[in-house]
Structure 1
Amino acid sequence: MKRKMLSQWVAAVLAGGVLVSVPAFAADTDADAPAQAQSGTTNGQNTAAPAATKDLQAVTVTAEKRVENLQKVPVAVAVINTDQLAAYDVRDFNDLNRVAPSLVIKPAENPVNASLTIRGVGTFAFSIGVEPSVAVVVDDVPIAFQPRAFTDLSDIAQIEVLRGPQSTLYGKSASAGLINITTLPPTDTLTASVSALTTNDGEMGGSAVFSGPLAEHLGFRSSWNYDNFGGNVTNKYNGNDVNGRRTLSTRNKLVWDPTDQWNVTAGFDYIDGHTTTGRPFIALAPNANLRGIYAPSVFAPGITPGPDNTDVSNNYTTGTDYTDTAGSVKVSYDFANGGPTLMSITSYDSYKMFDRLDQDESALKQLDNRQFGTFASHQTTQEFRLLSPGDDRFRYTLGLFYADVDYSRNFGRGPYYSLASWYATSSSKQYAGFGQIEYDLWPGTTLILGGRESYEKIGYTFNDYLAKTAFNGSNGDNFGTYKAGIQQQVTDDFMLYFTTASGHKGETYDLSTGFNAVRAAGGPVKPETSTDYELGARMQFLDRHLTLNTTLFDTRYKDFQAQGIETLSDGTTNYRLANVGKLHTRGVELESSYHVNQDLTFGANATYLDAEITSFPFAQCYPNQTVAQGCTGTSVKSQNLAGARPPLAPKWKFDANFNYTHPLGGTGLLGVVNGSYTYQSEVNYSLSQDPMTVQGGYGIANFSIGVREESGRWEVMGFVNNAFDKHYYSNLTNSTSNYANQLAVQSYLPRDFERYFGIRATYNFQ
């Protein structure tokens, strides 16, 4: 009794101290995610409907490469299950912005230029060889090329967002965090389901899932998903809708359990996608003449620039066409008599994309400047992993990892200005050994030690067809990362931990337009490193109906890699990758959920982030920045960004959700109501602190209501997204240099820029 009272007192002190700075925040913890995958819950795309009632179960995660209870894991991790994916209407990777407060996703006209940030740190670069700061793993397979992750999220069981460096267990692409995605497994009985979706603004989608046993000890799952949205921007040139997507994807899985000790899982995924982009002017000066010649009435006829503008005029459709083919084989063997588990995970991935951009963003034939190219990546990985039983006093995770990744990029731009024509390749071979041990010093107290040693060899070629130059080079690097900490289980429902960990983001070459002898002689951009400290508490009350998890973090980054902007002699802009200096991020994260009863669940999540650039003495100035505003120098202009806030780092981010399911009399039906709200404070989309690329704080509310048959055979839901019609931008670009140095700001409109509603329905053949 005294221990329980003590734990509640400590928890109250921790929560009270946090609430001075941040509101409550949490992930829904009402179900065991892997177990839930078997019965299924709908995410609006596919999977079987949930059962009539929900039992209070523990959430399990694989954050430390083994299945563990979320409340026992000394890692800052948010879990999004299928119920939450439905409540937030998450169907695309960009939609994850709404469900993980420490995560911010910035899309772009080309997925290669998109970025993920966790706790204000991510990849602000698009040189073809640069690796992400936030890693993405799907079913234990790392995604080396991050844009491949920017596809649909169909047939998903659970998504885990791990904050802070995860390099010890997950490698050099996880210096800021990790997104761990688990897809649904085969079902025990033969099942099939179909679903459909339609919206008032023209989106249509459908999916089908087939799952069950093929033979004794052999199961399969095959899911197919199609989605088509024309877009929410009108191209006045031809009347077509743009800023949309079309996606056809399939996930296929075979699971063979020949004995109690052996398990073999083979996966094959394929996706064929198409995107279009339009960047409406939200601000344009009357004398902002394109290339200093053509007035707005000439290059943008019929368009009224302003905050709510959804029109463009382009004679060349900006967008991408891409395909991805991926396969993996995971083999595990459980040694007899409670021994360890040995695993082998082999994967292959091939991604190809053709991208195009209307560089002059007009319908002028006399200034028809275009940008286009192809991009390809090929990846093979091999991991061996040895896991001790999870209930031993001494536990370990040991592994070997190998990756071979090749990229190629063919790029052209012209013919009128900012000319470019080049072909580049980048290669990386990585060898690593890693391990983490947990040792119970005495009951309730656990010591954590981990490390990773890696060797990487990188190489490149760059052929500039206009300059008639060719370069190549290679380099090797040895590096290590670590993790150490202590965990205290105060009571069964109250755990404290303290950890320190380091992160490493590998060196790379700046393979982009403008590569020359000076860049070649300079060698690769140096690795980016990070050191993180975390203090966390995991608490449950009211017979585990109420969960409250708190994390305090402090992380410092050295040799931060980012893309800066340089102005060329013809007045156009170019991008260059460099080590920009140092960053410091710190803050508080709070996760809470309240399972009121089997019908009603609430959740709330929030992050307070204090992020600062501590050293960046020669940063690029933003367009038209004056000396008084900090842009100094003679032949080369620059600014000192020390003390500035990094881009994509909101001070506050908050989300809340509820789910209510209740029987409708004696009809055999359940009424279902979901709701979610997400708030994000002000962010700047530019590293240069450009005041024209600031998105103010905003909040988005989504609601859905529907009917579900009690046995889960069918479900029909109506939904409204951005219910209060709050307009915001997912990205902003200051295009001043193209428009006679006059005001010209373009926007990227998110899918829910305007309120829209629709219906989704699922039918399960049982």
Structure 2
Amino acid sequence: MKQFSTIVRGLAIAALASSSGIALAQATAPAETAVADAASVDTGDIIVTAQKRAERLRDVPMSINAATGDHLKSLGVTSSEQLEKLVPGFTFQRTVYGLPVFFLRGVGFNDTTLGVSPGVSVYVDQQPLPFSAMTRGAMLDIERVEVLKGPQGTLFGQNSTGGAINYIAAKPTDELKAGVEASYGRFNEITGEAFVSGPLTSTLSGRIAVRGERQGDWQRGYTNGDTIGRRRFVNGRAILDWKPADTIRAELVATAWHDTSDTQQPQTVAYTPLLTGPMARPVPFPLATFPVSPRSPRAAAWDPNGDFVRDDRLYHISGRVEVDLSSAVTLTSLTSYADYRQSIPLDLDGTTFSSGVSDDTGRIKTFAQELRLTGDTPSGLKWMVGGNYQHDKVFERLIFDPMITSGTAVGPATFDSFFVDNDQKIESKAVFASLDLPLADRLVLQGSVRYTDQKRDFAGCVRDNGNGQISAALGLLSTIFTGAPQTIPLGGCGTLGANFLPAPIVTGKLNEDNLSWRASLNWNLDSQSLLYANVTKGYKSGSFPTLPASSAVQLRPVPQESVLAFEAGAKLGFGRMLQVEAAAFYYRYRDKQLVGFLVDPVFGPLPSLVSIPKNHIQGAEITATLRPVAGFTLTASGTYVDTRIDRNPINPTGPYGTPSDFVGQRFPYTPRWQGSLDAQYRFPAFADLYAFLGGTITARSSTTGALLSGDPAVAALEAGLKIDGYALVDLRAGIEASDERWRLELWGRNITNKFYVNGVTRNSDFTTRFAGMPATYGLTVRYRFN
């Protein structure tokens, strides 16, 4: 016990010292950081495929965070949303309708639309999951994850300005292997995972993995004591590897998951009617006197008569074929088809009144095909050429039933429920090439380029559900504006077209092309150290919004955005004891896509897509991994990101409808400082058993959930859109067999029960936020069969 307490005190002192001196003085780095078990893995030699070929992480001239699947589990990271624990510079936000949005170095797109192309793209074994809602089950039975920072698009199929996340699934093995894992935690959380892998014939092997999650209610009604928040999630993947000859390799992967959990309910921050005066609708509930939510992780309020069980599911089939045309040339084909469906019910106002229930329903069908040739020469030259095709069909329908707010009226015409439709068809074609050219001993010039042509067709509008309310209200509005009687059929499109006349549907086209490229000069000082400098130009496609728009003008798309990124970095190894990675970067950011606000003549101030013409980002990262003694690993990472808007968009409008000036403001959901500290000590306990102790501290500074107007008249209201900084502490301890075949672990996440926010927005009459999880703790048991 004395040894145990001494170790714990030592870890605590190291954690506090490092977090104040390193992690919060921040600079970040891509990291080999918390890459693997502190006991035995040299993180500098982890193999990654960030450039679509197998390389040591320390030899790749770009900012990358990489971690093994086992280490992710020890950190409690089971979904992309939790990568903040591992990747400084990465942030996660939940939109008002519960969809995930990812940011890297301040670059991301926090639109609520299901069919929006993300700023940070996600892949599984280089196969795309092109929309963020599809990423829920990507972290099943993975070998590792690679997070690439900076614009990506020259080598990966989907352009993105922020970065890319590539999950590498664990592959079938040549020998029979199996494993099981089970956890029990707070709120009666029960999770189980299992896999079996091995040969089926002399040329065919397979692997099957499944995971189930079950948890009781964790949110509590702060006005009535009701509970909500149960989790029900199942996930499965099957892989077949076929090697009919030494020169041919084929892989078929089938993945499916189904989520029937309760949706997380938002917390009410403030009630501010959209409209006042004669155009406002009298609200039949005392919303103004409903108490705002306390700053408690579990607090919530929702319609007690509502059904808030989501129904989200994904089916994904992909194939990979590799043929060695010669000893130096390989042909690779990647084929992918995915079908995603969702139903996300939510109480938007965060009260117990029936005043803001919605259901975000939708379907995505996406097909992608890539062909590429890769080769190398005895002189060290490496090359790649290829093409990519992708076709997406996305239909989204927001159902508001009822949506009783002050903005749902046009004179005497009022409406309680309506639909918002967004139907998009997206076709992308691209060709790409890359070249690695040795200039001298250990000095290499790299270049890559991709030309992309994308066509996006849109059809959508706001319509009633057949009760005629929207038709009557917007028909009356059209009559007022045109001076002639206008009618809209029941269930017809209510969004008014040109000259405020009724239109059968609002349609639009967005045809864009771009040339993304990357140039890199890197110098290997020795087998452990690398210096590099990169210049990268990247794009993200434009987008059509999903809005309850009374005018077709509000459904205009935003054009594609671009980032020109300059980065210089170093990856330095000092034996196994110390590894350091550092980078500095500067981005010139053009036409940044952002969710701003506009004043709708019917609905009042509403979220709207805006294009910020000129912006910049600058910052630095550092990661240090120290192994002073056998079994002990300490990893500290930090990042500093300074984002700025340099030029206003057209008619800048604040979240409360006031004219604004955004110049000089930082981007929403972009803390200036982020840092993390991870420590683990593994030591012999007795017999053939080892004990381990570990902990992780993650911290970030304050940010906002929207661009603010700076108007003193609404300063008190806009204060509710600010997100405080916070620090979270996780701990773990346990024992395992010396050969790591079995493991018993006790863990705690957010052990101080810190209140923190990962999403806040002005929606209709309400400002609401999503709180992070409270303290959780539990026990995990794992066993591997060989």
Q: If the TM-score is normalised by the length of the shorter chain, which range does it land in?
A: 0.7 to 0.9
Which residue identity is paired with 1:738?
Answer: D
1:235: Cα distance to partner?
A: 3.7
1:488 is the counterpart of 2:488:
no
Please, which of 612, 631, 635 is the counterpart of residue 603 of structure 1?
Answer: 635
1:704 aligned partner:
732
Whether contact under 8 Å (1:572, 1:738) holds in the other structure is no
Q: Deviations over 1:707-747 (max 9, x none)?
A: 11223332111011112222211222346x626xxxxx533
CA distance in 1, matches of 2:386, 2:72: 32
What SS class does the counterpart of residue 257 from structure 1 fall into?
Answer: strand
- Per the TM alignment, residue 510 of structure 1 is displaced from its structure 2 partner at its CA by 3.0
Structure 2: distance between partners of 1:30 and 1:318:
37
**Residue number in structure 1 paired with 2:213:** 227
State the alpha-carbon separation in 2 of the partners of residues 729 and 19 from structure 1: 21
| Alpha-carbon distance between aligned partners in 2 of 1:431 and 1:577, rounded to the nearest angstrom | 25
Residue 10 of structure 1 aligns with which residue? none
**1:531 alignment partner in structure 2:** 564
1:8 matched residue in structure 2: none
Q: Residues 171-182 of structure 1 correspond to what in structure 2 (within 5 A)? A: 171-182=157-168
Distance 1:390 1:514 in 2: 58
Distance 1:279 1:401 in 2: 40
Structure 2 unaligned regions, length at least 5: 1-21, 409-416, 464-469, 472-492, 494-502, 710-717
Say which of 714, 735, 738 aligns to 2:765.
738
Task: Output the CA distance in 2 between the equivalents of 1:540 and 1:244.
Answer: 46
Return the offset for 1:705: 0.7
Secondary structure of residue in 1 paired with 2:430 = strand
Q: Is residue 2:539 matched to residue 1:504?
A: yes
Contact 2:341 2:364 in 1 (8 A): yes
For residue 97 of structure 1, what is the amino acid of its counterpart? E
What CA distance in whole angstroms lies between the structure 2 residues aligned with 1:749 and 1:258?
52
Given the alignment of the two structures, is residue 27 of structure 1 paired with residue 62 of structure 2, yes or no? Answer: no
**Matches of residues 525-564 of structure 1 in structure 2 within 5 Å?**
525-541=558-574, 543-564=575-596
Q: Distance in 1 between matches of 2:229 and 2:345?
A: 13
Could you tell me which residue of structure 2 aligns to residue 44 of structure 1? none
2:446 aligned to 445, 448, 451, which one? 448
Compared with structure 1, are the counterparts of its residues 171 and 193 closer, same or farther at alpha carbon in structure 2 (3 Å cutoff)? closer
Q: Distance in 2 between matches of 1:643 and 1:297?
A: 34
Q: Secondary structure at the match of 2:72?
A: helix
Paired position in structure 1 for 2:11:
none
Question: Would the alpha carbon gap of residues 391 and 77 (structure 1) be closer, same or farther in structure 2, given more than 3 Å must change?
Answer: farther
Name the structure 2 match of 1:15.
none
Structure 1 pair 95–348 and aligned structure 2 pair: CA distance change class (3 A)? same
Shift of 1:580: 2.6
Question: TM-score scaled to structure 1, two decimals?
Answer: 0.85
Contact persistence 1:284–1:305 (CA under 8 A): no
Equivalent position SS for 1:84: helix
Distance 1:403 1:538, change over 3 A: same
1:645 and 1:437 mapped to 2: Cα distance?
37
Contact 1:26 1:592 in 2 (8 A): no
TM-superposed CA distance for 1:127, in Å, is: 3.2
Cα gap change, 1:593 to 1:208, in 2 (>3 Å): same
Specify which of 43, 51, 66 is matched with residue 53 of structure 2.
Answer: 66
How well do the aligned residues superpose, as a CA RMSD in angstroms?
2.9
Alignment map for 1:326-337 (pairs within 5 Å): 326-336=316-326
- Between the aligned partners of 2:550 and 2:57, the Cα distance in structure 1 is 47
2:297 aligned with 1:312, yes or no? no
| Deviates most, 324-333 or 162-171 | 162-171
Distance in 1 (alpha carbons) for counterparts of 2:294 and 2:316: 43
Q: Which residue identity lines up with residue 322 of structure 1 in the other structure?
A: D
**Among 70, 75, 80, which residue is 2:67 paired with?**
80
Q: 1:674 to 1:731 in 2, by over 3 A?
A: same
1:29/1:509 Cα in 2 relative to 1: closer, same or farther (>3 Å)? closer
Name the structure 2 match of 1:9: none
In the alignment, structure 1 residue 408 sits paired with structure 2 residue 428: no
Q: Is the 8 A contact 1:537 1:551 kept in 2?
A: yes
CA distance in 1, matches of 2:178, 2:53: 30
Structure 1, unaligned runs of 5 or more? 1-17, 34-40, 42-49, 625-635, 740-744
- 1:12-63 CA-to-partner distances (Å, cap 9, x unmatched) read xxxxxx99963575634697x8xxxxxxx8xxxxxxxx9x855676112111
Cα displacement (A) at 1:572:
5.2
What's the counterpart of residue 630 of structure 1? none
Instruction: Calculate the TM-score normalised by the size of structure 2.
Output: 0.83
Cα 1:153–1:241 shift into 2, 3 Å: farther
Q: 1:718–1:759: 8 Å Cα contact kept in structure 2?
A: yes
Task: State the 1:291 CA deviation.
Answer: 6.7
Task: Tell me the residue number matched to 2:128.
Answer: 142
Residue 658 of structure 1 aligns with an amino acid whose one-letter code is A
Query: Is 1:342 equivalent to 2:340 in the alignment?
Result: no
Give, in angstroms, the shift of residue 396 of structure 1.
Answer: 1.0
Partner Cα distance (2:650, 2:296) in 1: 33
- SS of alignment partner, residue 743 of structure 2: strand
**Of 146, 149, 166, the match for 2:152:** 166
Residue 587 of structure 1, CA deviation:
0.6
Q: What SS does the aligned partner of 1:71 have? A: helix
CA distance in 1, matches of 2:282, 2:765: 5
Indicate whether 1:209 and 2:195 are aligned.
yes
The answer as to 2:660 corresponding to 1:660 is no
Q: Aligned letter for 1:127?
A: T
Letter in 2 for 1:695: I
CA distance in 1, matches of 2:138, 2:223: 30
Match of 1:47 in 2: none
Distance in 2 (alpha carbons) for counterparts of 1:426 and 1:20:
43
Q: Deviations over 1:437-488 (max 9, x none)?
A: 0100111111112111111111122254345331223343232111112112
**Contact 1:186 / 1:219 at 8 angstroms: preserved in 2?**
yes
Deviations 1:133-177 (A, max 9, x none): 111111110111111113462212111111111121124532111
Shift in CA distance, 590/54, structure 1 to aligned 2, threshold 3 Å: closer
Distance apart, 1:298 and its partner CA: 7.1
CA distance, structure 2, for counterparts of residue 570 and residue 68 of structure 1:
57
Which whole-Å deviations, capped at 9, do the CAs of 1:599-620 have from their partners, x for residues lacking one?
2222111111111111124565
SS in structure 2 at match of 1:638: coil
Decide whether the 8 Å contact of 2:605 with 2:655 is kept in 1. Answer: no
Following the alignment from structure 1 to structure 2, what is the Cα–Cα distance between the partners of residues 130 and 733?
18
Quickly say closer, same or farther: Cα 1:544–1:565, change in 2 above 3 A. Answer: same
Q: CA deviation at 1:292?
A: 6.0
SS of the counterpart of 2:154? helix
Q: By how many angstroms is 1:584 displaced? A: 0.7
**3-state SS of the aligned residue for 1:507?**
coil
Note the alpha carbon deviations across 1:330-380, whole angstroms, 9 max, x for none.
0001233x312110010000000012222444333xx55432242000000
SS at match of 1:476: strand
Aligned position for 1:679? 699
Q: Is the 8 A contact 1:700 1:724 kept in 2?
A: yes
Deviation for aligned residue 1:517? 3.5
Question: What pairs up with 1:59-458 in 2 under 5 angstroms?
Answer: 59-108=46-95, 110-112=97-99, 114-151=100-137, 153-235=139-221, 240-275=226-261, 276-281=263-268, 294-295=285-286, 305-306=294-295, 310-315=299-304, 316-318=306-308, 320-336=310-326, 338-364=327-353, 367-389=354-376, 392-415=379-402, 416-417=404-405, 418=408, 419-458=417-456
Distance (Å, rounded) in 2 between the aligned partners of 1:90 and 1:306: 25
Q: Quick check: 192-201 or 79-88, which moved more?
A: 79-88
Question: Is the contact made by 1:30 and 1:54 (CA closer than 8 Å) also made in structure 2?
Answer: no
Deviation string for 1:298-338 (max 9, x for gaps)?
756xx8644566131423244531010001010001233x3
Structure 1 residues 387 and 298, CA gap change in structure 2 (3 angstroms):
same
8 Å contact kept, 2:569–2:583:
yes
Call closer, same or farther: CA 1:313–1:379 in 2, change over 3 Å.
Answer: closer
Flag the 1:374–1:296 CA change in 2: closer, same or farther, 3 A: closer
1:201-247 alpha-carbon deviations (Å, 9 max, x no partner): 22111111111111112111111101123343114688553345321
Structure-2 separation of matches of 1:96 and 1:529: 25
Question: What displacement does 1:261 show?
Answer: 1.4
- Distance across 2 between alignment mates of 1:439 and 1:362: 62
